[in-house]
Chain A
Amino acid sequence: MPSVERSPRQLAEFLYLLTRQELKARYKGRLLGYVWALAHTFALAFVYWIAFKIIMGLDVVNYSVYLVAGMFPWVWLATGVTSATRSFVVNAPLIKEMGIAHAILPLSNVMQEFAHFVFALPAIIAWVWLAGGYVPSLSWLWQIPLMLALQAAFVYPIALGCALANAYVRDIDYLLGIGFPLAFFATPMVYPLSIVPDPLHHWFELNPLHALMQSWRSLFMESTLDPAQLAYVAGWAIALGAVAWALHRKLAPRIGEVV
């Protein structure tokens, strides 16, 4: 009798299929497919450009590039975590009736947004180049994959933790709806850190989201990565990973009963 193996390889295939089919399903019947995802983020950047550059007269060099280089990683983070948060509740039958390894579900959401980001890379690079005059550097070939891995490692524990918590306390979903816009403006995304006044400045610098987003911007605008900032984000990723692991150990056994 052949036996069904649920080896790491089988789980990796499942993750790949789940992510691919979800992306497929999302764009089925839509003519412009992922162009919508691109247009959404560019439109967001455009709105901030109008508001802060044109109306408020914010003085930042190459502000449109500054916005775009930060906005796409942010959308990956925020959308990934938000959709992952609902993943256990939305896919309750998979957990209850199929007994799948449920930690795969938020990972798939993070990977779907990861895929969106990777698909958007040509557009981001084109924008950085054409609008800002930053010529793509050969070093991006290792810098971009490094940043992709770092951000995925940072986002997944948050996604898993929120999904677990949301299975027990459904309000997490709504809390994130408030939390992400607040975090967006508490992180130097549409303004530079340098204009934040002194007592706050120090606190803003401690924000790991700033270190992450600033790394993306310095990658696209200067082709450099600050090892200290990378290490800081990596440290947070490890800490968040430990918290998510502890939550998983505590909450996972009864997940089939609460979703």
Chain B
Amino acid sequence: MTHAVTCEGLWKTYQRHRPVGVKSLLLGATIPADTRFAREWALADVSFEVPRGRSFGVIGANGSGKTTLLSILLGTVPEDRGRVALSGSVASLLELGAGFHGDLTGRENVVLYGSILGMRLAEIRRRFESIADFSELDAAMEQPLRTYSTGMIARLGFSTIIHAAADILLIDEVLAVGDARFQAKCHQALREFRTRGGTLVIVSHNMKEIREVCDAGICLELGRVVDAGPIAGVAARYEERVAAAGPGKAKGGTHAQR
């Protein structure tokens, strides 16, 4: 079986890149070292493979490198070392409302968002009814997006992306906002997506959802893979560790870059 996603020995450190002012540039002032990261590596020697048609969960505390990992898979952040290989097209749902325009209607947003996801215009038009049906937004589809609730935006985003016909979907946390019924519908759609041969990589704090959607996964801690294998075990051991650590100082770095 071919792997849809392969990561081999992935290393990533955030450089001290950040917006500098012309003043410091002209005066040649040394920029103080960025101390936002308590550790050297955002990701350290991360390796995993996801076979085609499977669903892979990435869990871990805030700042453990989950989002960085997805960004590298998506190609928006370059890796320092290691190899990333994705076979097939990628679509991402990493942040709620990213790619949406508040002044445009739901319908106009679906068209634009579909295009951002890589769909052809004809394809979007052909699937529009199906997207609208799935979202259950009905008449709200013709209202500007700024009148939408978070749940409605999530429904619009998810409905579009599930119709985008990508081979690999990267999803970060965003499914948690819908109500229970819509979540169940999403999970059903994701299962169908995988039966069609689609591959999922999901980041979530919701262990129930992770268990329901994923087959296998890894747990990250300070950028390192501390656990890997079938999802039930990884999730259970993660919950044990969290419970053992107690509500005190959480293990894990400061939060990732923004």
Point out residues on A near B: beta carbons under 8 Å: 1-6, 9-10, 13-14, 17-18, 21-22, 24-25, 28-29, 93-100, 167-171, 175, 253-254, 256-258
Nearest CB on B from A69, distance (A): 33
Query: Are A94 and B115 also in contact (CB < 8 A) when A10-B120, A25-B104, A175-B22 are?
Result: no
Q: Tell me which of B78, B92, B104 contacts A97 (CB under 8 A).
A: B92
In the complex, B17 has a CB within 8 A of chain A: yes
A29 to B257, CA, bound (A): 37
In the complex, B184 has a CB within 8 A of chain A: no
Flag if B98 contacts A93 (CB, 8 Å). yes
Q: Tell me which of A3, A6, A24, A167 contacts B88 (CB under 8 A).
A: A3
A161 to B23, CA, bound (A): 20
What are 5 sample pairs from A and B whose C-beta atoms fall under 8 A apart?
A1-B196, A98-B99, A169-B20, A175-B22, A258-B18
Interface SS of B by simple majority: loop
What's the tally of chain B residues with a CB closer than 8 Å to chain A? 48
Q: Which A residues are in CB contact (< 8 Å) with B99?
A: 93-94, 97-98
Q: Tell me which of B98, B111, B121, B144 contacts A94 (CB under 8 A).
A: B98
Flag if A169 contacts B117 (CB, 8 Å). no
Q: Which A residues are in CB contact (< 8 Å) with B22?
A: 169, 171, 175
Stretch at the interface among B55-63, B162-170, B214-222, B227-235: B162-170
Which among A93, A99, A167, A175 has the highest number of chain B CB atoms within 10 Å? A99
Query: Are A168 and B20 also in contact (CB < 8 A) when A4-B166, A28-B103 are?
Result: yes
Nearest CB on B from A16, distance (A): 8
Nearest CB on B from A18, distance (A): 7
Flag if A24 contacts B76 (CB, 8 Å). no
Closest to B14 in A: A257
Flag if B90 contacts A18 (CB, 8 Å). no
A254 to B198, CA, bound (A): 29
Q: Which A residues are in CB contact (< 8 Å) with B121?
A: 13, 17
A5 to B119, CA, bound (A): 7
Q: Which B residues are in CB contact (< 8 Å) with A257?
A: 14-15, 17, 77, 257
